Amino acid sequence: MQATTQGGARPVVLVTGAARRIGAAIARCLHAAGCDVALHYRGSRDAALALADELERARPQSVLPLQAELAAFDRLPELVARTIGCFGRLDGLVNNASTFRQTPFGSVAPSDWDALFASNARAPFFLAQAAAPHLRATHGAIVNIIDIYAERPLPQHSVYCMAKAALQMATKALALELGPEVRVNAVAPGAILWPEDGGDTAARDAMLARTPLGRTGTPEEIAEAVRWLLFDAHYCTGHVLAVDGGRTLAG
Protein backbone atom coordinates (compact mmCIF):
# COMPACT_ATOMS: atom_id res chain seq x y z
CA MET A 1 0.00 0.00 0.00
CA GLN A 2 1.33 3.41 -0.96
CA ALA A 3 2.07 5.98 1.74
CA THR A 4 0.55 9.37 1.01
CA THR A 5 0.42 12.88 2.42
CA GLN A 6 -2.47 15.32 2.34
CA GLY A 7 -0.68 17.59 -0.10
CA GLY A 8 0.38 14.81 -2.42
CA ALA A 9 4.11 15.14 -1.67
CA ARG A 10 6.12 12.02 -1.01
CA PRO A 11 6.33 11.31 2.74
CA VAL A 12 9.79 11.57 4.29
CA VAL A 13 10.93 9.16 7.00
CA LEU A 14 14.15 9.12 9.01
CA VAL A 15 15.18 5.56 9.97
CA THR A 16 18.00 4.99 12.45
CA GLY A 17 20.20 1.93 12.18
CA ALA A 18 19.03 1.53 8.60
CA ALA A 19 22.06 -0.04 6.94
CA ARG A 20 21.50 -3.67 7.79
CA ARG A 21 19.16 -6.35 9.14
CA ILE A 22 15.74 -5.11 10.30
CA GLY A 23 16.60 -1.46 9.68
CA ALA A 24 17.39 -2.13 6.02
CA ALA A 25 14.13 -4.06 5.62
CA ILE A 26 12.23 -1.11 7.09
CA ALA A 27 13.96 1.31 4.72
CA ARG A 28 13.20 -0.88 1.69
CA CYS A 29 9.56 -1.29 2.71
CA LEU A 30 8.99 2.42 3.25
CA HIS A 31 10.77 3.33 0.03
CA ALA A 32 8.68 0.81 -1.92
CA ALA A 33 5.59 2.39 -0.36
CA GLY A 34 6.56 5.73 -1.90
CA CYS A 35 8.55 7.39 0.89
CA ASP A 36 11.77 9.32 0.61
CA VAL A 37 14.10 7.99 3.30
CA ALA A 38 16.97 9.32 5.39
CA LEU A 39 19.15 6.31 6.21
CA HIS A 40 21.10 6.70 9.44
CA TYR A 41 24.05 4.40 10.06
CA ARG A 42 26.90 4.34 12.53
CA GLY A 43 29.71 2.06 11.34
CA SER A 44 28.18 0.08 8.46
CA ARG A 45 29.18 2.58 5.79
CA ASP A 46 29.53 0.14 2.89
CA ALA A 47 26.16 -1.49 3.58
CA ALA A 48 24.46 1.89 3.98
CA LEU A 49 25.85 3.27 0.73
CA ALA A 50 24.99 0.07 -1.12
CA LEU A 51 21.41 0.28 0.14
CA ALA A 52 21.21 3.96 -0.77
CA ASP A 53 22.47 3.18 -4.29
CA GLU A 54 19.91 0.37 -4.65
CA LEU A 55 17.04 2.63 -3.65
CA GLU A 56 18.29 5.57 -5.70
CA ARG A 57 18.35 3.39 -8.81
CA ALA A 58 14.71 2.58 -8.17
CA ARG A 59 13.78 6.25 -7.65
CA PRO A 60 16.37 9.01 -8.04
CA GLN A 61 16.80 11.74 -5.41
CA SER A 62 14.85 9.80 -2.82
CA VAL A 63 17.54 8.74 -0.32
CA LEU A 64 19.85 10.55 2.08
CA PRO A 65 22.54 8.50 3.89
CA LEU A 66 23.48 9.99 7.27
CA GLN A 67 26.36 8.80 9.44
CA ALA A 68 26.27 9.52 13.17
CA GLU A 69 27.18 8.10 16.55
CA LEU A 70 23.89 8.29 18.43
CA ALA A 71 25.67 8.51 21.77
CA ALA A 72 26.96 11.94 20.67
CA PHE A 73 24.09 14.20 21.73
CA ASP A 74 24.81 17.00 19.25
CA ARG A 75 24.46 14.63 16.31
CA LEU A 76 20.77 13.95 17.09
CA PRO A 77 19.24 17.31 16.14
CA GLU A 78 21.72 17.40 13.26
CA LEU A 79 20.18 14.23 11.78
CA VAL A 80 16.77 15.86 11.80
CA ALA A 81 18.09 19.16 10.44
CA ARG A 82 19.91 17.47 7.56
CA THR A 83 16.81 15.47 6.67
CA ILE A 84 14.73 18.66 6.58
CA GLY A 85 17.47 20.44 4.62
CA CYS A 86 17.44 17.73 1.96
CA PHE A 87 13.73 16.95 1.63
CA GLY A 88 12.01 19.98 3.15
CA ARG A 89 9.71 18.01 5.45
CA LEU A 90 9.54 15.10 7.90
CA ASP A 91 6.57 12.74 8.15
CA GLY A 92 7.99 9.87 10.17
CA LEU A 93 10.74 8.86 12.57
CA VAL A 94 11.64 5.21 13.09
CA ASN A 95 13.90 4.65 16.09
CA ASN A 96 15.36 1.29 15.11
CA ALA A 97 19.05 1.56 16.04
CA SER A 98 19.89 -0.61 19.01
CA THR A 99 22.79 -2.02 20.99
CA PHE A 100 22.35 -5.57 22.29
CA ARG A 101 24.83 -7.39 24.50
CA GLN A 102 25.02 -9.41 27.67
CA THR A 103 25.52 -7.68 31.03
CA PRO A 104 25.85 -10.47 33.63
CA PHE A 105 24.85 -9.11 37.00
CA GLY A 106 27.87 -8.63 39.26
CA SER A 107 30.11 -7.53 36.41
CA VAL A 108 28.12 -4.63 34.94
CA ALA A 109 30.16 -1.46 34.46
CA PRO A 110 28.86 2.10 34.05
CA SER A 111 30.11 1.96 30.46
CA ASP A 112 27.72 -0.94 29.78
CA TRP A 113 24.84 1.07 31.20
CA ASP A 114 25.78 4.17 29.20
CA ALA A 115 26.17 2.31 25.90
CA LEU A 116 22.92 0.38 26.16
CA PHE A 117 20.83 3.30 27.34
CA ALA A 118 22.38 5.68 24.80
CA SER A 119 21.12 3.86 21.72
CA ASN A 120 18.05 2.14 23.15
CA ALA A 121 16.51 4.97 25.19
CA ARG A 122 18.32 8.32 25.20
CA ALA A 123 18.82 8.79 21.47
CA PRO A 124 15.22 7.88 20.53
CA PHE A 125 13.88 10.33 23.10
CA PHE A 126 16.01 13.26 21.98
CA LEU A 127 15.52 12.47 18.30
CA ALA A 128 11.78 12.60 18.95
CA GLN A 129 12.22 15.95 20.69
CA ALA A 130 14.16 17.36 17.73
CA ALA A 131 11.71 15.92 15.20
CA ALA A 132 8.52 16.93 17.02
CA PRO A 133 8.03 20.43 15.53
CA HIS A 134 8.42 19.06 12.00
CA LEU A 135 6.18 16.06 12.66
CA ARG A 136 3.52 18.34 14.13
CA ALA A 137 3.55 20.35 10.91
CA THR A 138 2.88 17.22 8.80
CA HIS A 139 0.71 15.35 11.34
CA GLY A 140 3.38 12.66 11.24
CA ALA A 141 4.20 9.68 13.39
CA ILE A 142 6.97 8.01 15.37
CA VAL A 143 7.56 4.26 15.61
CA ASN A 144 10.01 2.91 18.17
CA ILE A 145 11.43 -0.59 17.83
CA ILE A 146 11.42 -2.04 21.32
CA ASP A 147 11.48 -5.74 22.27
CA ILE A 148 9.25 -8.25 23.99
CA TYR A 149 11.97 -8.17 26.68
CA ALA A 150 10.86 -4.67 27.60
CA GLU A 151 8.19 -6.42 29.69
CA ARG A 152 9.86 -9.69 30.62
CA PRO A 153 13.52 -9.97 31.64
CA LEU A 154 16.04 -11.92 29.60
CA PRO A 155 18.68 -13.59 31.78
CA GLN A 156 22.13 -11.99 31.56
CA HIS A 157 20.68 -8.93 29.77
CA SER A 158 19.27 -6.83 32.60
CA VAL A 159 20.55 -3.46 31.35
CA TYR A 160 19.32 -4.05 27.79
CA CYS A 161 15.88 -5.02 29.10
CA MET A 162 15.76 -1.92 31.32
CA ALA A 163 16.70 0.32 28.40
CA LYS A 164 14.01 -1.16 26.18
CA ALA A 165 11.50 -0.78 29.03
CA ALA A 166 12.45 2.89 29.17
CA LEU A 167 11.77 3.18 25.43
CA GLN A 168 8.41 1.51 25.88
CA MET A 169 7.47 4.06 28.53
CA ALA A 170 8.77 6.86 26.30
CA THR A 171 6.41 5.61 23.58
CA LYS A 172 3.43 5.98 25.90
CA ALA A 173 4.59 9.26 27.45
CA LEU A 174 5.32 10.89 24.10
CA ALA A 175 1.95 9.78 22.75
CA LEU A 176 0.43 11.96 25.47
CA GLU A 177 2.87 14.81 24.93
CA LEU A 178 2.58 14.97 21.14
CA GLY A 179 -1.09 14.21 20.52
CA PRO A 180 -3.24 14.99 18.72
CA GLU A 181 -0.92 16.08 15.90
CA VAL A 182 1.66 13.28 16.20
CA ARG A 183 1.03 9.59 16.85
CA VAL A 184 3.68 7.58 18.70
CA ASN A 185 3.66 3.78 18.68
CA ALA A 186 6.10 0.89 18.99
CA VAL A 187 6.78 -2.54 17.52
CA ALA A 188 8.00 -5.29 19.85
CA PRO A 189 9.62 -8.04 17.74
CA GLY A 190 9.93 -11.59 18.93
CA ALA A 191 12.41 -14.01 17.34
CA ILE A 192 13.26 -12.38 14.00
CA LEU A 193 17.02 -12.46 13.43
CA TRP A 194 19.41 -14.31 15.68
CA PRO A 195 22.51 -12.58 17.06
CA GLU A 196 25.33 -12.51 14.53
CA ASP A 197 27.57 -14.60 16.79
CA GLY A 198 25.20 -17.51 16.28
CA GLY A 199 23.92 -17.90 19.82
CA ASP A 200 22.78 -21.11 21.53
CA THR A 201 21.10 -23.55 19.12
CA ALA A 202 19.32 -25.43 21.92
CA ALA A 203 17.95 -22.17 23.33
CA ARG A 204 16.70 -21.25 19.84
CA ASP A 205 14.87 -24.55 19.47
CA ALA A 206 13.30 -24.20 22.92
CA MET A 207 12.18 -20.66 22.10
CA LEU A 208 10.51 -21.74 18.87
CA ALA A 209 8.83 -24.63 20.67
CA ARG A 210 7.11 -22.04 22.89
CA THR A 211 6.03 -19.96 19.88
CA PRO A 212 2.50 -20.81 18.71
CA LEU A 213 3.30 -20.05 15.05
CA GLY A 214 6.34 -22.33 15.31
CA ARG A 215 8.80 -20.24 13.32
CA THR A 216 10.94 -17.16 13.39
CA GLY A 217 9.50 -13.99 11.94
CA THR A 218 11.07 -12.09 9.06
CA PRO A 219 12.49 -8.58 8.92
CA GLU A 220 9.89 -7.85 6.24
CA GLU A 221 7.08 -8.65 8.69
CA ILE A 222 8.50 -6.13 11.15
CA ALA A 223 8.89 -3.59 8.35
CA GLU A 224 5.26 -3.96 7.29
CA ALA A 225 4.13 -3.43 10.89
CA VAL A 226 6.19 -0.24 10.98
CA ARG A 227 4.68 0.97 7.71
CA TRP A 228 1.16 0.30 9.00
CA LEU A 229 1.75 2.18 12.24
CA LEU A 230 3.25 5.13 10.38
CA PHE A 231 0.61 5.55 7.70
CA ASP A 232 -2.51 3.45 8.26
CA ALA A 233 -3.04 3.18 12.04
CA HIS A 234 -4.88 6.49 12.20
CA TYR A 235 -6.54 5.84 15.57
CA CYS A 236 -3.61 4.18 17.34
CA THR A 237 -1.21 6.02 19.60
CA GLY A 238 0.73 4.89 22.64
CA HIS A 239 0.29 1.32 21.39
CA VAL A 240 2.90 -1.45 21.48
CA LEU A 241 2.37 -3.98 18.69
CA ALA A 242 3.94 -7.35 19.44
CA VAL A 243 5.07 -9.10 16.27
CA ASP A 244 6.23 -12.28 17.94
CA GLY A 245 4.29 -15.23 16.52
CA GLY A 246 2.36 -15.42 19.78
CA ARG A 247 5.48 -16.18 21.79
CA THR A 248 4.54 -14.03 24.77
CA LEU A 249 1.36 -16.11 25.23
CA ALA A 250 3.37 -19.07 26.50
CA GLY A 251 5.28 -17.13 29.14
Query: What amino acid positions are annotated as catalytic residues?
Result: 160
- Count Cα neighbours of 125 within 13 Å in the Cβ-side half-sphere: 17
Question: Cis before residue 153, ω within 30 degrees of 0?
Answer: no
Q: Is 231 buried (19+), middle (13-18) or exposed (0-12) by CB count in 10 A? A: buried
Residue spans of alpha helices (H) in the chain: 21-32, 45-58, 75-87, 110-117, 123-138, 158-178, 201-209, 219-231
- Which CA distances in Å does 155 have to 45, 149, 194, 219, 246? 32, 10, 16, 24, 20
Query: What are the residues whose beta carbons fall under 8 Å from the beta carbon of 251, sequence distance 6 or more?
Result: 210
State the Cα–Cα distance between residues 247 and 212, nearest whole angstrom. 6
- Which CA distances in Å does 109 have to 68, 102, 113, 115, 131? 24, 12, 7, 10, 32
